[in-house]
Amino acid sequence: MIEFIQATKRYGRSDRNALDHLNLKVGDGCVYGFLGPNGAGKTTAIRLLTGALRPTEGEIRVNGISVAEKPIETKRMIGFVPDSQEMYERLTGVEYLNFMADIFGVSEADRKERAEKYLARFDMTEAARDRIGSYSRGMKQKMAAIGALIHEPPVWVLDEPMVGLDPRASFLLKEEMRARASAGATVFFSTHVLEVAEKLCDRVGIIHKGKLIMEGTPEELLGKTGDASLEEVFLEMTASSQEQA
């Protein structure tokens, strides 16, 4: 379970909140889509959740434990797939997975079994022996996802996971996200791909200028606005929020 309680982030001496008193609760077994235009605060929220940033105000909890108070403990519960293409490119895929498994304290037998399972599932068994620097963007994304799954985390956080993936890889990742949620894990991801959010998510939140402007199941959102698709909801909400500002 993930909880944002009045979570606020202001960078440096800026007078604008990158994230403005966010209140959000995502339960176990839920796939949660975090939507918003560029610069809305999605990555800031994810960085606060994963402990790479500290909130200016408020609190973030993972399975009831405060990220600020016990960062190492909460980080152990999270598997994080970053949106950035900056990976340890001089390592081979196998070396990277071994590194992640060591960091998360995964036993030899478990890491072998999980790595082989996920490598096969994402068609990366052969490529795992090559250096990550030789991978395409999609392959890097898949390797990052496998690295984040090696300790089978109760909370899976993905920042723009569909970027660069081919249709097959995208399908496999969505299947995995659903499978993780069915197994009781919390899956939290940011995306621009509204069709994905509409079909995959149990709940969706729309963030704009650091504020959560709408939240609920895709059906609830469609019902509230009377729009035909999540795309229309998104455009309407971000436009009306712009006008109010």
Partner 1 sequence: MTRDEDRTMKNYWILARLMLKNTLAGMNPFAASQQAKSKGRSALRGIGMIAILAMAAVSVIFLEHEIFTLLRDAGQAILLPAMAILLSMLMTLVMGLFQTLSELFQGKDSPFLAVLPLTSRQIFAARLTSLYVSELALNAVIILPAVVMYCIGTKAVLPMALTAIPVVLLTPALPLAIVALIASLLMRISFFAKHREAIVMGLSVAVALAYSIGVTMMNASSGDKENTVFLAQALMRKDGMMNMLLQRFPPALWLAKGLTGDWALILLAAAVSVGAAALVIGLCGPGYLAQALSSGEKTVTRGKRVRGETNWRAGSRFAALHSLEWRELLRTPAWAYNALLGVVMFPLMIGIGFVAGFSRAGEGLELLQGLWKQFDPAYVALVTAAVMAMGSMVNPAVSTAISREGGRWPFALTLPVRQQTRFAAKLAVGIEINMVCSLMVMGVCWYLTRLPLQWMLLALLLAMLLAVASAAASLWVDALRPQLKWNSEMEAIKKNFNQVFGMLIWLAFMGLCALPAIFLWKHGGMAALGGSLAVAAVLTALSLFLLSRVTEKHVVLDA
Whether 190 and 46 have beta carbons less than 8 Å apart is answered as yes
In whole angstroms, give the CA distance from residue 39 to residue 128.
34
Nearer to partner 1, 90 or 199 (CB): 90
In whole angstroms, give the CA distance from residue 170 to residue 178.
12
User: According to the binding rule CB under 8 A, does residue 61 interact with partner 1?
Assistant: no
17, 50, 186, 191: residue in contact with partner 1 (rule CB under 8 A): 50
Residues numbered 72 to 131 that lie near partner 1 (CB under 8 A) are 72-73, 75-76, 78, 80, 82, 84, 86-92, 94-95, 98-99, 101-108, 111-112, 115, 128-131
In whole angstroms, give the CA distance from residue 128 to residue 97.
9
Three-point CA angle 60, 182, 197, nearest 5° = 65
In whole angstroms, give the CA distance from residue 223 to residue 203.
14
Nearer to partner 1, 114 or 208 (CB): 114
Whether 132 and 142 have beta carbons less than 8 Å apart is answered as no
Size of the site for partner 1 (CB under 8 A): 46
33, 36, 41, 51: residue in contact with partner 1 (rule CB under 8 A): 51
- The minimum distance between CB 8 and partner 1, in angstroms, equals 14
- The minimum distance between CB 224 and partner 1, in angstroms, equals 34
Could you tell me which residues come within 8 angstroms of residue 84 by beta carbon, excluding any fewer than 6 positions away? none
Element (H, E) at 146: helix 137-149
- The minimum distance between CB 26 and partner 1, in angstroms, equals 18
- The minimum distance between CB 51 and partner 1, in angstroms, equals 6
Whether 212 and 238 have beta carbons less than 8 Å apart is answered as no
Residues numbered 154 to 183 that lie near partner 1 (CB under 8 A) are none
- The minimum distance between CB 107 and partner 1, in angstroms, equals 6
- The minimum distance between CB 114 and partner 1, in angstroms, equals 10
Neighbour count for residue 155 (Cβ, 10 Å): 22
Whether 156 and 146 have beta carbons less than 8 Å apart is answered as no
3-state secondary structure of 65: strand
Nearer to partner 1, 50 or 190 (CB): 50
For partner 1, the binding residues (CB under 8 A) are 11-13, 47, 50-54, 71-73, 75-76, 78, 80, 82, 84, 86-92, 94-95, 98-99, 101-108, 111-112, 115, 128-131, 133-134
